Structure 1
Amino acid sequence: MTITVLAFIIALFFAMNIGASGAAATMGIAYGSGAVRKRRIALWISGIGVFLGAVIGGGEVVKTIGSGIIPSSILNVNIVVIILGAAAVSLFIANMTGIPLSTSEVTVGSIVGVGVAFQVVFTDKLMLIVVYWLIIPIIAFFLAFLIGQLIKGTERKLKWLKQKKWSRVLIVLVILTGFLEAFSAGMNNVANSVGPLVGAGLLSIGSGTFLGGLFVAIGAICLGSRVIETNGKKITNLNLLQGSAVSGLGAVLVIGASLFGIPVPQTQITTCSIIGIGLSEKGKAIFRKSVIVKLMKVWVVSPVFSLVISYSLVKIFLDFDLYSVSVVLCVFLATLGSVSLMKQAGKPQRKRGQRRDNIKSIVGGRNHEREPAAWRDFS
């Protein structure tokens, strides 16, 4: 009984973090473009949208998460706790850094880690999901770029679009598309928190989507401030027409995948759409922003991170294997050691550079033109 209660607590905590990450990001466009000026109102709109999407259309993806990647026969309360715990830890770390992270990636990574530990994974379904992960964000990027170019041309020809009387129409449009994107997030993301519970027979699909949707909405409203700030303000500034295009594009792609029961990285789709619009507006300069580099790193590391955590927990607590645990521990220590060595390798360079600056300051300005070549190349 205690472990079952723990499973529900972790699932609901995970649902709140899903709301703080993916669901909150859906209204980042409306907030960043100025259609919704108050961040709290934007979060409330996303919360309502994600709840309705979960209740109305979240069932198909719940089936995939619950039994489409690994057999439901191996799912029990202990396995559910491991899957949800590993995913929740990965997502919580991302939320604390303010990075919008794909909850689908960390959840699928955790499920695959359990499957690898028991040597039973539906590889065909997994490969299909991974292909969708790769293709849909790329499609979103290029479509957003093309839409951005079309918007630029349209705004040049139709100057009246920038008149004040039309701004109200565009504000309504971007809010509606943002709400639709939040709705699509509910359809796709609620499964990540309640899918394992449904697969283990602890919840029905209907009660799972309702409970999960409720807590995802609470997470978006209460914990989504950092992520909506990142997506809305730190990547690129969008006008109202661009914002509605990005939100509408993301919503259509995610709803389409959800109808087929495919968990897709909605946050990646939204962010890639924003970058595509930014590329059409500002050119290659958009790629030099450090926040995009940070996003890419987290996207690559997170599913692997959650996979390793869930695999290790299975081997430690359920199917103890000293060899496997030792290998994981060694890889972990080797990674930390490599990072430490890389940091130390950079320090001598800075010290030599500092020494050159000290020498130059000592010899003074009158000898600057006669600075030996060896000093100029010292660093």
Structure 2
Amino acid sequence: MVVLLTVVGIGVAIFVGFNIGGSSTGVAFGPAVGSRLIRKTTAGALFVGFGFLGAWTVGREVIATMSSSIVPAAQFTPIASVTVLFFTGASLLISNLYGVPASTSMTAVGAIVGLGLASGTLNEALMFVIVSAWIVAPLTCLCIGVVTGRYLYPYLDRHTAFTTFTLHFIQLDRTGAIPRPFINRSASLQDTIGSLSVVIIGCYMAFSAGASNAANAVAPLVGSGGSLTVSQGVLLAVGAFGLGSFTIARRTLETVGDDITELPILASLIVSLVGGTVITLLSSFGIPASLAVSTTSTIIGLGWGRASRAATLTELATPSPASPDVTVSTGALVTSRAEDVPAGPTIGDIAREEKPPEKPDEIPAIPDVGAVGPADIDRRSLFDPAAARRIVTMWVLTPSLAVVASYSVFEFLL
């Protein structure tokens, strides 16, 4: 029976890792594939490689926390491990059914908390630290996004370039006996720097995803009486990531991801850098946290900061009839009309091969904060308020339901 439960647990862990790899690959490398910088197969290989690096290094700390620190490792019997993994897999199913990026990390922790409450072995001090991090991390990302959008984004947008190539960025010269790689000859120096940035940030996102998500797939099995060692768990998780990266991720990469298609390339790089850094830092301290929550908070902050440039801080804090009527909307990221400069291309524009508007020969200087009226906000929105409420509700609801359901199962059934 124990062997059967172990096999079932490994099967569920593979299912969880398979879905994580499928969804995370699209988020990390959607911009690079959509703009023909790399191919889908290359994206899968890069995600597996850097995901493994993140899981093997920083991710070990998160695995240790979830497998033995929230509750003692002895609590992860084979049946308990399967049950916890079941709730983690169920959160992925709910996320896919409702089209909402529910936090796998938060749900997995919620299931473990239910086990700890039912057995009376929950490490309450550690959970206080983890929950505090869940509150502080998105607020930090939000603040960084606001500051960046308000004071830095227009200048970064003015001096960066992203383009789409008819052929892939890296080409192979097959005229000789040995194929030689070379950079697409249609790329300018600015295009090359921008394009390499997209790929490098994608690799960094893969590293962060591996660091934070490996534990979601295998932590219960690592704590389950030595069913798997940490190293074996990492290998199993990354193998499952790879299975998803090379199969279901191809469709995600093809559509570039519904949640990010209208996000400008520059904004996506900032979001990935901020969200990935926050999650990597938390993972290094062994704190499981959600990459989706951090990145979404950064998106909201960027949009709010970008729109708020139409007024000074004093005008925002003390509105009056004489003050600009500023509409703070995340849709501000998809337009630069406040500076009379065409907006940079979005990920969707590049993937659909839409030609960006031509920039004028003489680009006007960027006005100071509060020096112009409110921006002409595009109707397209990066983050619809109704969608925001639905997503935040799911972020709170899924781990809460995991705690209640897990506690009920362990208290009354097992």
What is the CA-CA distance between 1:271 and the residue it aligns to? 1.8
Give the distance between the partners of 2:108 and 2:90, measured in 1 at CA: 11
Aligned residue number for residue 363 of structure 1 = none
Q: 2:238 aligns with which of 198, 205, 213?
A: 213
Please list the CA deviations of residues 165-220 of structure 1 after superposition, one character each: whole Å capped at 9, or x if unmatched: 41231121022112111111101110111111111211111111111111123224
- Does 2:391 correspond to 1:295? yes
Q: Structure 1's 227 and 266: CA in aligned 2 closer, same or farther, altered over 3 A?
A: farther
- Does 2:264 correspond to 1:239? yes
Write out aligned runs for 1:311-350 (5 A): 311-318=407-414
What one-letter code is carried by the residue in structure 2 that aligns with 1:294?
Answer: R
Q: Which has the larger radius of gyration?
A: 1
Aligned residue number for residue 140 of structure 2 = 139
Please list the CA deviations of residues 31-69 of structure 1 after superposition, one character each: whole Å capped at 9, or x if unmatched: 67x475876765554344323322343211110000111
What is the CA-CA distance between 1:293 and the residue it aligns to? 2.7
Q: Any stretches of 5+ residues in structure 1 without a counterpart?
A: 319-379
Q: 1:177 aligns with which of 185, 189, 201?
A: 201
Give the distance between the partners of 2:161 and 2:397, measured in 1 at CA: 46
Give the distance between the partners of 1:315 and 1:235, measured in 2 at CA: 41
What one-letter code is carried by the residue in structure 1 that aligns with 2:219?
Answer: G
Aligned residue number for residue 284 of structure 2 = 259
What one-letter code is carried by the residue in structure 2 that aligns with 1:11?
Answer: A
Q: Structure 1's 22 and 102: CA in aligned 2 closer, same or farther, altered over 3 A?
A: farther
- Does 2:122 correspond to 1:26? no
Aligned residue number for residue 9 of structure 1 = 11
TM-score (norm 2): 0.68
Is contact 1:236–1:274 with CA below 8 Å preserved after alignment?
A: no
Aligned residue number for residue 213 of structure 2 = 189
Q: Structure 1's 43 and 305: CA in aligned 2 closer, same or farther, altered over 3 A?
A: farther
Is contact 2:25–2:43 with CA below 8 Å preserved after alignment?
A: no
Give the alignment's Cα RMSD to 1 decimal.
2.9
Flag the structure with higher helix content.
1
Please list the CA deviations of residues 10-40 of structure 1 after superposition, one character each: whole Å capped at 9, or x if unmatched: 12112222223455433356567x4758767
What is the CA-CA distance between 1:161 and the residue it aligns to? 9.3
Give the distance between the partners of 1:159 and 1:192, measured in 2 at CA: 37
Q: Tell me the SS of whatever aligns to 1:26.
A: helix
Give the distance between the partners of 2:259 and 2:92, measured in 1 at CA: 20
What is the CA-CA distance between 1:152 and the residue it aligns to? 0.5
Aligned residue number for residue 93 of structure 2 = 92
Write out aligned runs for 1:52-91 (5 A): 52-91=53-92
Q: Any stretches of 5+ residues in structure 2 without a counterpart?
A: 164-186, 308-327, 332-380
Please list the CA deviations of residues 120-160 of structure 1 after superposition, one character each: whole Å capped at 9, or x if unmatched: 2101101111111111111112212322330213445x588
Q: Structure 1's 311 and 294: CA in aligned 2 closer, same or farther, altered over 3 A?
A: same
What is the CA-CA distance between 1:87 and the residue it aligns to? 1.5
Is contact 1:22–1:100 with CA below 8 Å preserved after alignment?
A: no
Aligned residue number for residue 192 of structure 2 = 168
Aligned residue number for residue 249 of structure 1 = 274
Give the distance between the partners of 2:87 and 2:53, measured in 1 at CA: 27
What one-letter code is carried by the residue in structure 1 that aligns with 2:391?
Answer: L
Give the distance between the partners of 2:160 and 2:406, measured in 1 at CA: 56
Aligned residue number for residue 152 of structure 1 = 154
What is the CA-CA distance between 1:82 and the residue it aligns to? 1.0
Give the distance between the partners of 1:175 and 1:40, measured in 2 at CA: 14
What is the CA-CA distance between 1:85 and the residue it aligns to? 0.9
The sequence identity of aligned pairs, in percent, is: 31
What one-letter code is carried by the residue in structure 2 that aligns with 1:171?
Answer: S
What one-letter code is carried by the residue in structure 2 that aligns with 1:140?
Answer: C
Is contact 1:65–1:108 with CA below 8 Å preserved after alignment?
A: yes
TM-score (norm 1): 0.74
Is contact 2:111–2:403 with CA below 8 Å preserved after alignment?
A: yes
Query: Which range moved further: 50-59 or 108-117?
Result: 50-59
**Alignment: residue pair count:** 316
